[in-house]
Structure 1
Amino acid sequence: MPAYAILDLKVFNKEKLQEYKNVAPEIIKKFGGKIIIRGGESNTVEGNWNPERIVMIEFPNYETANNWWNSDEYKIATELRKKGADTNVIIVDGV
């Protein structure tokens, strides 16, 4: 069953975030991940969640998604991302 990594980014430095965007997709692909949402317009229809930039990545399963997140390769990318955005992240099992 697929699993999803959902990132909610508050960008504060677009140039630094671009460094992350230059390396992250290949790491995601290595773990069988597929970016299905990256940015795009959103509309909060209930509650007070006000995301600036949503990214959703589909992985083959929950274990693979967690292996990606905890991998040495992605830890390097995470450090780049932190220089350009504050981020909330969840990994969730799909159905």
Structure 2
Amino acid sequence: MAGYLVFDIEITDPEAWQHYREVAGPVMAASGGEFLVQSAGIEPLEGGWHPASLSVVAFPSAEAARAFYHSDAYQALLPLREAAAISRGVLVTGA
């Protein structure tokens, strides 16, 4: 069953965010992650949810997504993301 990392991201430092993407992208790809959605625009429909941007990354399984997120390689990059954005994320499993 596929695993998806879904993040609601408010970029606070665009230059730092670009650097984070450059270094995190290869780590994610090496773990089997593939971007499905990188929002260019969001239209709120209900529930009062107004995310600044959304990213959805697909992995072959929930275990692969979890392993990527908790890996030493990605955990070392978290301070870069935290310095560049306010983010909230979940792991979603699906068919």
TM-score (norm 2): 0.95
What letter matches 2:6 in structure 1?
Answer: I
Other-structure match for 2:82: 82
What letter matches 1:90 in structure 2?
Answer: V
Other-structure match for 1:45: 45
Equivalenced residues, count: 95
Matches within 5 A, 1:1-95: 1-95=1-95
Q: Distance in 2 between matches of 1:71 and 1:33?
A: 13
Q: Distance in 2 between matches of 1:59 and 1:82?
A: 22
TM-score (norm 1): 0.95
Give 1:39 deviation, angstroms: 2.6
Unaligned runs of 5+ in 1: none
For the aligned residue pairs, the C-alpha RMSD in angstroms reads 0.9
Find runs of 4+ consecutive structure 1 residues off by over 2 angstroms: none
State the identity as a percent.
Answer: 27
Q: Distance in 2 between matches of 1:2 and 1:91?
A: 10
Q: Distance in 2 between matches of 1:18 and 1:71?
A: 21
